[in-house]
């Protein structure tokens, strides 16, 4: 112990006294110890780690277990009595911890000759209290000495899964309430940036599972698991929470909470704090403030809100409409309930998603504005305003709300998925698309085969667009393995394979096979038309494009306008010159409002077709300044089937060389960045 300075030795003695004094207090943890030592939580964590190479929660637990050994060997107390004397509220949990630490159950402690630390004999004048302190100091010194020379531990994986809570009430109608407690626990943890909190959908499939925790840990690639069970009887809430280390099924911590219903928000905050304490994750002051913010003072409004959330999470138009009724009821009970406004807006967004007639968009905007009025730093408030702008196709307006939403809830898979789709569909940026797709995959390990298939499809698409073709095929094959009936993965895979073998005839065969499975697939139809044109099979191209146009008109869809130039070329080859002019004019009108990075490339192609080589070259120069373009541009921009006077100009080919070189340079930079972040 000579390595310690006098100040360090004094600190450790004070630390031990504080633990011994609160030995029987089951609520005494890292935060309470920091308060007893008049230190900040973060400073206590750093100092104890530096001196002992032990996490504080482990130091407290081992002190409790060593004191338990003393009592079991030297007193008449039974195991249950000792467990409560050293601060374990659950005897079964105490037995597990004792067995893990000593290698045998506490019932055998009196029969074993456990090696005792050497303790100096106290003078007779010392009080019993001081004798306990000195004994504990010696015990503490023993395990400090055991750990002091260990190498520093590697950075810990802070991934955590909140499993569905079990409703132990006889009243099944209370399930929404228990689900709400699980949801609030998840949402509070999602606000902590230093945690990797897996999504609710990742854990939902385990609601009725017979799988063990280690099996779930392997499937989800997660370290910590929270199990919860509870019941609500009248105004009383009884909730038991356990924290388990997944790979080895080691129980780290357990606590039973008994609260009045009026204390539900304090309960939610306490759970988040206790879990963070046990795994010793740093919480910033801003995060702490967001976790501790009470959503409403009206418990009736909160009850209505929980019913709405339960319906919202189930999805489907019927449930979404029913959730709106509950959210509106909550708003009537508390007109300043920001989270209720935000969730009502989210329900409106999903009700209008993919719909041509946006029936709920005005209500969505009103809910979003109210949510922001009452809580502008609530992630859900920002997210729902972004949703409004996305439906309005005002994409640039949506972006800052999404970015702020992710700042306030760094583990929100809802925001991450919106950002992923944003950089794919709305303002394409291959680098950010891939980055957010990879982040989303780390948080959304949905066990559901359909959801998982689409997650892998999204990632495969992002990888392909950034030029990671081999990696893309790996995830697309995983997507098919999870759900062979996924209709979109084979469609994309056909083009990714083309990037490797350059066999367009094979692409056509694959697409025709997919179209025969579902002849309403207008997305596949237009791609078959395009591939036929590239193959110079102009008659076939015209036939497929005709079918696409008829289907698009019949369904009254305003989609694929960016493909109207290709359609015009096919119609022109078929002698339909007047109709070709209509499609080309619509393509020109589309370009005038195009907000993507490809607007200048579109204008270049348009003026090239119109015979204005000067303007076409000007726009190509502008496009050459763009970053993060999609790999498909590189793959097809020089295809010989496309008519072009521009490519006869030497500067055009030079610019195309620059565009291609910039793409691959960005590809290499992106590869390094993603590898550094552990995302690739």
> Are 163 and 230 in a shared domain?
yes
Specify the range with the lowest mean pLDDT, choosing from 157-171, 293-307, 620-634.
Answer: 157-171
Q: Other C-beta atoms within 10 Å of 38: how many?
A: 8
d(CA 225, CA 160) in angstroms, rounded, equals: 6
> Are 34 and 77 in a shared domain?
yes
The per-residue pLDDT for range 602-612, each reduced to its tens digit, is 999 999 999 99
CATH of the domain at 226: 3.40.50.10610
Polymer length of the chain:
680
> Are 288 and 325 in a shared domain?
no
- Does the pTM surpass 0.85? The reply is no
Residue 496 lies in a domain: no
Helix (H) or strand (E) holding 225: strand 224-233
> Are 271 and 371 in a shared domain?
no
What is the average pLDDT across 112-125? 42
Domain's final residue, options 248, 278, 294: 294
Residue 266 lies in a domain: yes
Residue 137 lies in a domain: yes
Residue 34 has pLDDT above 90, yes or no: no
> Are 287 and 316 in a shared domain?
no
Residue 572 has pLDDT above 90, yes or no: yes
Give how many domains the chain has, as a whole number.
4
Percentage of the chain modeled with pLDDT above 70: 91
- Mean pLDDT, the chain, rounded, equals 85
| Adjacent-strand bridge partners of 226 | 162, 243
The per-residue pLDDT for range 496-530, each reduced to its tens digit, is 999 999 999 999 999 999 999 999 899 999 999 99
> Are 287 and 381 in a shared domain?
no
CATH of the domain at 420: 1.25.40.10
Cβ neighbours of residue 356 under 8 Å, at least 6 residues apart? Answer: 556, 557, 558
> Are 269 and 306 in a shared domain?
no
> Are 96 and 22 in a shared domain?
yes
Domain's final residue, options 148, 167, 184: 148
Name the nearest CA neighbour of 605 among 651, 571, 638, 559: 638
Residue 336 lies in a domain: yes
Residue 576 lies in a domain: no
Name the nearest CA neighbour of 40 among 49, 30, 50: 30
CA of 445: how far to CAs of 69, 207, 214, 678, in Å?
Answer: 42, 15, 15, 16
> Are 264 and 323 in a shared domain?
no
Residue 459 lies in a domain: no
Burial grade of 362 (CB within 10 A; 0-12, 13-18, 19 or more): exposed
Residue 453 lies in a domain: no
566: its two tokens: 């290709």
Specify the range with the lowest mean pLDDT, choosing from 171-180, 472-481, 498-507.
Answer: 171-180
> Are 51 and 138 in a shared domain?
yes
Residues spanned by the domain of 360: 302-408+415-427
> Are 378 and 331 in a shared domain?
yes
CATH of the domain at 22: 1.10.10.60
> Are 144 and 166 in a shared domain?
no
What would the DSSP string read from start to end of 117-148? PP-PPPPTTS-HHHHHHHHHHHHHHHHHHHHH
125 — pLDDT class (breaks 50, 70, 90): very low
Cβ neighbours of residue 511 under 8 Å, at least 6 residues apart? Answer: 491, 494, 524, 527, 528, 531
Residue 465 lies in a domain: no
d(CA 646, CA 608) in angstroms, rounded, equals: 6
């Amino acid at each position: 112990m000579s390595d310690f300075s006098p100040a360090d030795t004094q600190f450790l003695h004070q630390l031990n006294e504080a633990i011994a004094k609160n030995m029987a207090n089951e609520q005494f943890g890292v935060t309470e110890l920091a308060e007893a030592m008049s230190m900040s939580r973060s400073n206590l964590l750093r100092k104890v780690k530096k001196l002992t190479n032990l996490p504080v929660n482990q130091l407290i637990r081992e002190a409790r277990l060593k004191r338990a050994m003393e009592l079991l060997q030297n007193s008449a107390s039974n195991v249950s009595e000792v467990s409560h004397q050293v601060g374990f509220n659950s005897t079964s949990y105490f037995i597990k911890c004792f067995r893990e630490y000593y290698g045998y159950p506490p019932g055998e402690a009196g029969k074993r000759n456990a090696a005792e630390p050497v303790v100096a004999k106290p003078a007779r004048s010392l009080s019993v209290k001081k004798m306990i302190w000195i004994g504990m100091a010696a015990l503490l010194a023993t395990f400090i000495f055991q750990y002091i020379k260990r190498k520093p531990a590697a950075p810990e994986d802070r991934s955590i899964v909140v499993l569905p809570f079990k409703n132990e009430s006889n009243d099944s109608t209370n399930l929404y309430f228990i689900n709400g407690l699980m949801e609030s626990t998840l949402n509070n943890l999602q606000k902590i940036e230093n945690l990797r909190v897996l999504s609710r959908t990742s854990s939902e499939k385990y609601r009725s599972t017979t799988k063990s925790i280690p099996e779930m840990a392997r499937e989800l690639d997660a370290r910590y698991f929270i199990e919860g069970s509870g019941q609500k009887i009248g105004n009383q809430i009884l909730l038991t929470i356990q924290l388990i280390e997944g790979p080895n099924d080691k129980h780290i911590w357990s606590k039973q909470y008994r609260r009045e219903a009026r204390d539900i928000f304090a309960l939610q905050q306490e759970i988040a704090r206790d879990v963070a304490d046990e795994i010793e994750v740093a919480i910033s002051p801003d995060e702490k403030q967001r976790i501790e913010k009470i959503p409403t003072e009206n418990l009736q409004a909160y009850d209505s809100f929980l019913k709405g959330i339960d319906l919202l999470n189930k999805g489907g138009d019927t449930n979404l409409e029913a959730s709106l009724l509950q959210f509106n009821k909550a708003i009537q009970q508390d007109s300043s309930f920001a989270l209720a406004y935000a969730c009502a807006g989210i329900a409106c967004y999903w009700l209008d998603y993919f719909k041509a007639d946006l029936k709920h968009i005005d209500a969505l905007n009103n809910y979003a504005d109210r949510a922001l009025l009452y809580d502008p730093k609530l992630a859900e408030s920002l997210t729902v305003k972004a949703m409004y702008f996305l439906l309005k196709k005002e994409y640039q307006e949506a972006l800052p709300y999404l970015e702020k939403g992710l700042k306030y809830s760094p583990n929100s898979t809802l925001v991450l998925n919106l950002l992923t789709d944003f950089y794919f569909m709305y303002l394409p940026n291959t680098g950010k698309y891939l980055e957010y797709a990879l982040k989303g995959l780390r948080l959304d390990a949905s066990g559901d085969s359909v959801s998982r298939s689409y997650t892998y499809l999204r990632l495969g698409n992002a990888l392909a667009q950034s030029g990671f073709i081999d990696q893309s095929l790996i995830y697309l094959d995983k997507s098919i393995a999870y759900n062979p009936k996924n209709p979109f993965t084979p469609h994309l895979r056909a083009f990714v394979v083309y990037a490797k073998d350059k066999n367009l005839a094979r692409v056509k065969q694959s697409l025709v096979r997919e179209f025969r499975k579902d002849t309403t697939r207008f997305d596949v139809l237009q791609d078959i038309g395009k591939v036929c044109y590239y193959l110079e099979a102009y008659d076939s191209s015209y036939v497929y494009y005709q079918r696409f146009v008829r289907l698009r008109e019949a369904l009254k869809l305003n989609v694929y306008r960016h493909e109207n130039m290709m359609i015009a070329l096919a119609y022109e080859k078929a002698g339909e010159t007047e109709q070709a002019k209509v499609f080309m004019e619509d393509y020109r009108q589309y370009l005038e409002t195009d907000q993507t990075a490809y607007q200048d490339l579109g204008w270049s192609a348009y003026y090239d077709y119109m015979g204005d080589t000067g303007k076409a070259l000007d726009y190509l120069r502008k496009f050459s300044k763009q970053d993060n373009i999609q790999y498909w541009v590189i793959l097809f921009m020089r295809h010989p089937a496309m008519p072009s006077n521009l490519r006869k100009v030497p500067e055009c080919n030079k610019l195309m060389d620059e565009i291609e070189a910039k793409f691959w340079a960005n590809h290499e930079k992106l590869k390094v960045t993603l590898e550094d972040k552990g995302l690739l």
